[in-house]
Amino acid sequence: MRSLVVAYSLSGNTKKVANVIAAGLNADSEEIRYRIQRGAFMNGLRIFWDIATGRAGDVEAAAKDPASYDLIVLGGPIWSWKPCGPVLGWLDANASRCRQLAFFCTMGGNGAERSFDMMAKRCGKTPVATLAATEREVREDAFGAKVDQFLLTLRSASDAQRF
Ligand SMILES: Cc1cc2nc3c(=O)[nH]c(=O)nc-3n(C[C@H](O)[C@H](O)[C@H](O)COP(=O)(O)O)c2cc1C
């Protein structure tokens, strides 16, 4: 199974989880980045605006072609009980080229299920597996069991579908 872990992380929590998932899957990795068109101040305002409105972020084009992978594992933080803007932006631009998707997120504690539902509806694809880790679990390195379960589900799906 050829896998790509794609993630946005503002303050590092999601990146930490993404790295562990990528190592477990022996996957390639890619960070989602905002397309920076103006100065840092305007860019900061735009992030704030995305958070306030829940809109999809204007992100850089994918460097790695999702169509050349069997599985895309997509993650980001929860913002205001919704998927963060950059994850929505990446999904809008690339979901049609993803064969199979799995979702993960980090959060203070609320909004994961709602966000996974929103992501699935937005792209019209059901995720093979989902994982939600809290800030506390990330801080205390206590998300290993969740990752193990997530990887197990992905591998079973892979066996069943012969990725
Ligand atoms: C603007 C903003 C809104 C947030 N909204 C939520 C929320 O609705 N529910 C929640 O559980 N956590 C919320 N959080 C917490 C983040 O989801 C959490 O800190 C996450 O781990 C950050 O990931 P990152 O370090 O990869 O950016 C919010 C954080 C920010 C900055």
Give the domain ranges of the chain.
3-161
Interval between CA 159 and ligand 1 midpoint (Å): 34
Q: What architecture is domain 3-161?
A: 3-Layer(aba) Sandwich (3.40)
**Residue 104 near residue 21, CB atoms below 8 Å:** yes
Q: What is the pTM of this model?
A: 0.95
Q: What is the pLDDT of residues 99-146, one digit of tens each?
A: 999 999 999 999 999 999 999 999 999 999 999 999 999 999 999 999
Per-residue confidence (pLDDT) for residue 20, from 0 to 100: 98
Interval between CA 107 and ligand 1 midpoint (Å): 5
**Ligand 1 site residues, Cβ closer than 6 angstroms:** 9-15, 51, 77-81, 106-111, 135
